[in-house]
Structure 1
Amino acid sequence: MLGFRRFPKNVGRQYDEFLLDSIDRAKDEWDQAAETEQAISEVDGEIVAQTRLARQKYLFLYREARERNVSNNRIQSSVIDY
């Protein structure tokens, strides 16, 4: 039909699931980076930068999920302390 493609109707739900999985991974990376920073006695700038980057990745994905109104019991708003 003139090159028009039909997209599946559940693409949004698939993206939402992918986004939730990404949030879970980002939270784990942030927790691991924070634990590493606390465990090392001589913290250098690179370790601090990795922790900040992991936190910013998590916050970016979390905001994206909030803008898309993704609701699920997997995201806890209490994990963010401003």
Structure 2
Amino acid sequence: MFGSRKQKIRMQFDGKLLASIDLAKQEWDHAKETEEAVSDVDEEITAQTVLARQKYLFLYREARLRQVHGQHIQSSVFDH
């Protein structure tokens, strides 16, 4: 009875975490592509790429700590 609501909330936030991880991965990929496409890379572009990478890694580590598993394969797996 009491654990049911807690479980629903956990599942809801796990889903949001997985969605955030997917979005962070897309942002990191976009930042890498931008950095590679620009011939004159300045510190701001490099910093944005590093920030996007760190955000993705933070969310990924949080998912591992919470033992969250997604039900789909990330699209970036097929890109390489």
TM-score range, shorter chain: 0.7 to 0.9
- Residues 8-61 of structure 1 show CA distances to partners (whole Å, capped at 9, x for unaligned) of 330000010000000000000000000000000000000000000000000000
Partner of 1:71, secondary structure, is coil
Kindly tell me the number of residue pairs found equivalent between the two proteins.
71
**Aligned-partner residue type, residue 66 of structure 2:** R
Identity, % of aligned pairs? 63
Q: 1:62 to 1:74 in 2, by over 3 A?
A: farther
Q: Unaligned 5+ residue runs, structure 1?
A: 1-6
Counting only pairs closer than 5 Å after superposition, residues 3-82 of structure 1 correspond to structure 2 as 8-9=5-6, 10-74=8-72
Q: Unaligned 5+ residue runs, structure 2?
A: none
User: Which ranges of 4 or more aligned residues in structure 1 deviate by more than 4 Å?
Assistant: none
TM-score by length of 2: 0.81
Q: 1:25 to 1:75 in 2, by over 3 A?
A: same
Please provide the CA RMSD for this pair: 1.8
Structure 2 CA distance for aligned equivalents of residues 29 and 16 of structure 1: 20
**In 2, are the aligned partners of 1:20 and 1:74 still within 8 Å (CA)?**
no
Higher percent of residues as helix: 2
Structure 1 CA distance for aligned equivalents of residues 62 and 52 of structure 2: 16
Q: 1:64 to 1:74 in 2, by over 3 A?
A: farther
Partner of 2:69, secondary structure, is coil
TM-score by length of 1: 0.79
